Structure 1
Amino acid sequence: MLHKNHRWLWLLLVVITGIGCILFFTELPGLAKTPHNVIIFVADGLRPTQVNATDTPTLEDIKEKGVSFVNSHSLFPTLTTANASVIATGHYLGDTGDFSNNIKVQAPVKSAKNSVVPFLENNAVLQEVNQQFGQNFLKETSLLAVAKTAGFSTASIGKLGPVLIQDVTQTSGEPTIIFDDATGSATGIPLNSEVQKLLTINSLPLITPSRGENGKSGNSTTPGTTVANVEQQQYFVDVTTKVILPLFKQCQKPFILVYWSRDPDGTQHNQGDSLNQMIPGINGSTVKAAISNVDRNLAQIRMALKELNLEANTNIFVTADHGFSTISKESQTSYATTLTYKNVPTGFLPPGFLAIDLAHDLNLPLFNPDQENKSVDPTKGQFTNNGVLGKNPQHPDVIIASNGGSDLIYLPNWSNRKIYAQKIVNSLFKQDYVSGLFVNDSLGVIPGTLPLSAIKLWGTARTPIPSLVVNFRSFDTGCGNTACGAEIADASLQQGQGSHGSFSRADTFNNMAAIGPDFKQRYVDQVPVSNADVVVTLAKVLKLKVPTQGKLVGRVLTEALRDRPNKVKYKSHVLESAPGVNGLKTILKYQTVGDTPYFDVAGFPGRTLGL
């Protein structure tokens, strides 16, 4: 007799039989009767140090019974859309061109208030940026795009921005099903009528609920949120377990589903447990609740797989796009801290401090690219996150994309770019908030810096390649490990809240694990792995061939696969720049498996956590 709590599954399968699956899939000749499936579960910003049997029993169970990747890596810059492009394609950022959440593009983006450095976590922005770069700004083909062409069922669900990046050229609700924050709105990817019917049958709204209180970040005098993103994420997991997985079951095709959980990232950013204080920072009760929320969502997905008899044939690959740190806004050297601003505590770094300091040192006017290049006068308490520097904002000398724990600097004027590059390096070497600089290879060797190619940011990208990437200082607030990492962050959030993007081990150390029919059981993988390996490994498992244009790709995690040898050799390396004018050197620590690099930490000695 069917358990009363499971009757919805049976009823839904009956309804789906009437709807049919022909809109989504085609026959797959030659497949086994029970082909394997994949769920990529991305817990945005989840730190390995927060996974344990008490707070996250589901995540811990996967690590215990499946493969635990204890030497895992996010790619630098450790930002969401950047690593989303890596998780989607298996390519390093030098190929995907998604260098950070804010990047420079070719022309002003209308859906981003005509900014030339748009924020990519927006469907309309992504589609407009695609139009500027051959209809696919990533250039590379994603795993979902290959899978849907091969006849797999495909879906991407969760956080706005990285969800669409998984199948970035998708503009309709089929064949890939897309649910994110914008679903049901003017900028949402439309749902086809069949999926809408299934939502209605299950009493689920056609419009994604908002984050509510969880979306409130507060300000310098008002704490941010004290609740996890429960309602919105419950909607996404209900859609996954009550609509999409039963639909995939009925269609009897192999499937790939990407589930991108906004928690704990959104809560870690906005948490109000630590206003202007470094402790507890992102280790307070609100973040703990958010992490448990993620675990409950994953538990619901695993239970649905079991009830649908899909568990035995489904691989679950858990990863995080990046780690996380507590924000510091303190500097003893910044010109920006000597000025007064509304809603910025006295002596703290304001948002856009890098643009303010460089405009001052280079003696250049400052403009706000996100407000139609409006003039910005820091001496009058004005600031801007992203910055345009030059006498004419339409033809600037310097463009700064603000991204939290690291910033991108572009020098669009080719006639003076080498001169400005050296001036900028000299200026940044004076700042105590800087910890390491990476310079575009075309600018030649600049003492104290390393080239972009050293960290795989130099490849075949379609988007403009940054001239310089600035890493900000990071440190330990008391734990003696990455659990209490803090960093200077060029962001609008407050000291004590959360950010990421730096080259500290707190930000590069992401949670990764896998379980399923193609992975070893109870195996601890000591070999370095990264987000670049996810697609390459899963494509191998599913016998899918993902075409590549660039050569910066990850590797197949053979040591983690069932019936494969355990031993894989890896080496550790240290790369140092020549000393700069004041003796500072950018140092990079990394590991390699064959030719595949894994970047641990980088920066100036004593200024990067883990270096």
Structure 2
Amino acid sequence: MHMIRKRHLLLSSLTLIYCAQIAVLAADAPTFDRHVVVVVWDGMRPDFVSEETTPTLWKLAHEGVTFRNHHAVYPSATQVNGTAMLTGVYPGRSGVIANYVYRPEIDRTRSISVETPTVVARGDELSGGKYISVPTITDLAQRAGGRTVIAAAKTVGLLLDRHAGVGPGKNSVTLFAGQSLPRDILAPIDAVLGPFPSAHLQRDAWTTKAVTDFLWKDGVPVLSVIWLGEPDLTEHESAPGAPPVLTAIKSSDEKLAAVLAALNKQAVRQTTDLFVVSDHGFSTIGRSIDLRKILTDAGFIAKT
């Protein structure tokens, strides 16, 4: 018997390697004796990984593999890169090209947020199910008979699997910012954890516990994606490296430790390929440009 070495990858921005990993797993192992878990730290930069701030990730990286030749797709926005991760294609092919776009066939009056449930549903209705124009890796895993779990503290989770609870995905679950597919999966989680919180760090804690304590209760599925909102949400309110951001990064590290503990408890850590990734980083800027004000001052009617 050949021993398969467990692979831990620290990816500080977008990588598509795990898409191929799942496809092989789903095709070659109908009993699904291996698992893939992807933990996303939204907005994380590689230079903030340290033994002091991120001891769990630091240890994991030194035990496994660090992917150094990496970058986000353009534009480096959450919805764009989340879709790229789960489809393996660039934005021009997936159809998700920005967080906010003008799609007059969906809403003629304003730009839309591409991951809003009503927008996604309308987009699929108008396109014959091709709002995202190519299958996601969750689609492929489900068609092969696998169960998937997507749990995101942010609304991007809906783009990662919008078919959970129906058809081939009838046993799969998507959580996104306190909402769920199928809808009835949320009640028992809320009954124990309470409603989805408003504070950033608590949202990540709620999402992680929903996975480890509920969605993995009867076994770890073939593919799980746990999308943490930190440090991104706190960085938007402060700056890279600010004390609140370092606290948020440490919080994400604690959530990673909880995921590892759950895998150990389920006795599947040795048969799990774990990826820690980020969708984009953050830059320090000298000033911002208020495009709406510039256009308004020039006599245009600017809406965003």
Conserved 8 A contact 1:108-1:115: no
Runs of at least 5 residues in structure 2 that lack an aligned partner in the other structure: 1-25
Moved more, 34-43 or 44-53: 34-43
2:157 aligned residue (163, 186, 190): 163
Matched, 1:352 2:277: no
SS of 2:240's equivalent in the other structure is helix
Conserved 8 A contact 1:136-1:169: no
Q: 2:184 is matched by which residue type in structure 1?
A: N
Structure-2 residue corresponding to 1:90: 88
What is the rounded CA distance, in whole Å, between the counterparts of 1:40 and 1:236 in structure 2? 14
SS of 1:232's equivalent in the other structure is helix
Q: 2:208 is matched by which residue type in structure 1?
A: V
Q: How many residues align?
A: 277
User: How big is the shift at 1:210?
Assistant: 1.9
What is the rounded CA distance, in whole Å, between the counterparts of 2:28 and 2:95 in structure 1? 37
Counting only pairs closer than 5 Å after superposition, residues 305-320 of structure 1 correspond to structure 2 as: 305-320=263-278
Structure-1 residue corresponding to 2:249: 291
User: How big is the shift at 1:41?
Assistant: 1.1
What is the rounded CA distance, in whole Å, between the counterparts of 2:253 and 2:206 in structure 1? 15
Cα deviation digits, residues 168-188 of structure 1 (max 9, x gap): 3447694321112242xxxx5
SS of 2:121's equivalent in the other structure is helix
What is the rounded CA distance, in whole Å, between the counterparts of 1:319 and 1:79 in structure 2? 14
2:198 aligned residue (210, 214, 217): 210
Structure-2 residue corresponding to 1:71: 69
What is the rounded CA distance, in whole Å, between the counterparts of 2:30 and 2:139 in structure 1? 22
What is the rounded CA distance, in whole Å, between the counterparts of 1:306 and 1:133 in structure 2? 43
What is the rounded CA distance, in whole Å, between the counterparts of 1:174 and 1:182 in structure 2? 20
Conserved 8 A contact 1:46-1:265: yes
SS of 1:234's equivalent in the other structure is helix
User: How big is the shift at 1:126?
Assistant: 2.2
Matched, 1:259 2:226: yes
Structure-2 residue corresponding to 1:175: 171
What is the rounded CA distance, in whole Å, between the counterparts of 2:227 and 2:189 in structure 1? 21
Q: 2:172 is matched by which residue type in structure 1?
A: T
Structure-1 residue corresponding to 2:219: 248
SS of 2:301's equivalent in the other structure is strand
What is the rounded CA distance, in whole Å, between the counterparts of 1:34 and 1:189 in structure 2? 23
Matched, 1:367 2:301: yes
User: How big is the shift at 1:132?
Assistant: 3.0
Conserved 8 A contact 1:154-1:257: yes
Distance change (3 Å), C-alpha of 1:160 and 1:189: farther
User: How big is the shift at 1:322?
Assistant: 0.7
Conserved 8 A contact 1:158-1:236: yes
Q: 1:117 is matched by which residue type in structure 2?
A: S
User: How big is the shift at 1:31?
Assistant: 3.8
SS of 1:107's equivalent in the other structure is coil
Larger radius of gyration: 1
1:136 aligned residue (123, 130, 137): 130
Conserved 8 A contact 1:122-1:160: no
1:119 aligned residue (98, 113, 129): 113
Conserved 8 A contact 1:37-1:313: yes
User: How big is the shift at 1:34?
Assistant: 6.6
Q: CA RMSD in A?
A: 2.6
Q: 1:143 is matched by which residue type in structure 2?
A: I
Conserved 8 A contact 2:151-2:226: yes
Conserved 8 A contact 1:43-1:319: yes
1:35 aligned residue (33, 36, 52): 33
Structure-1 residue corresponding to 2:17: none
Q: 2:176 is matched by which residue type in structure 1?
A: D
Q: 2:171 is matched by which residue type in structure 1?
A: P
What is the rounded CA distance, in whole Å, between the counterparts of 2:31 and 2:123 in structure 1? 41
Distance change (3 Å), C-alpha of 1:323 and 1:29: closer
Tell me the TM-score normalised to structure 1 length: 0.42
Cα deviation digits, residues 166-217 of structure 1 (max 9, x gap): 113447694321112242xxxx544335x744664xx223x32222xxxxxx
What is the rounded CA distance, in whole Å, between the counterparts of 1:140 and 1:32 in structure 2? 23
Conserved 8 A contact 1:102-1:119: yes
What is the rounded CA distance, in whole Å, between the counterparts of 2:71 and 2:44 in structure 1? 12
What is the rounded CA distance, in whole Å, between the counterparts of 2:109 and 2:227 in structure 1? 27
Runs of at least 5 residues in structure 1 that lack an aligned partner in the other structure: 1-27, 212-228, 272-280, 331-348, 370-385, 387-611
User: How big is the shift at 1:127?
Assistant: 2.1
Distance change (3 Å), C-alpha of 1:356 and 1:143: same
Q: 2:196 is matched by which residue type in structure 1?
A: T
Matched, 1:232 2:197: no
What is the rounded CA distance, in whole Å, between the counterparts of 1:134 and 1:245 in structure 2? 33
User: How big is the shift at 1:247?
Assistant: 2.1
User: How big is the shift at 1:354?
Assistant: 5.7
1:152 aligned residue (137, 146, 149): 146
What is the rounded CA distance, in whole Å, between the counterparts of 2:236 and 2:170 in structure 1? 33
Cα deviation digits, residues 259-300 of structure 1 (max 9, x gap): 1111011111123xxxxxxxxx32210000010111100110
Cα deviation digits, residues 201-253 of structure 1 (max 9, x gap): xx223x32222xxxxxxxxxxxxxxxxx221111111111111122224xxxx
User: How big is the shift at 1:106?
Assistant: 3.7
Conserved 8 A contact 1:305-1:311: yes
Cα deviation digits, residues 418-452 of structure 1 (max 9, x gap): xxxxxxxxxxxxxxxxxxxxxxxxxxxxxxxxxxx
Cα deviation digits, residues 124-165 of structure 1 (max 9, x gap): 222223323332311100000111121111111013332111
Runs of 4+ in 1 over 6 A off after TM superposition: none
Counting only pairs closer than 5 Å after superposition, residues 151-550 of structure 1 correspond to structure 2 as: 151-170=145-164, 174-183=170-179, 188-192=180-184, 196-197=187-188, 200=191, 203-205=192-194, 207-211=195-199, 229-249=200-220, 254-271=221-238, 281-329=239-287, 349-350=289-290, 352-353=292-293, 355-356=295-296, 360=298, 365-369=299-303, 386=304
SS of 1:155's equivalent in the other structure is strand
Distance change (3 Å), C-alpha of 1:50 and 1:30: closer
Q: 1:91 is matched by which residue type in structure 2?
A: V
What is the rounded CA distance, in whole Å, between the counterparts of 1:29 and 1:122 in structure 2? 32
Conserved 8 A contact 2:165-2:173: no
Conserved 8 A contact 1:177-1:191: no
What is the rounded CA distance, in whole Å, between the counterparts of 1:94 and 1:30 in structure 2? 31
What is the rounded CA distance, in whole Å, between the counterparts of 1:58 and 1:41 in structure 2? 13
SS of 2:62's equivalent in the other structure is helix
SS of 1:366's equivalent in the other structure is coil
Q: 2:237 is matched by which residue type in structure 1?
A: N
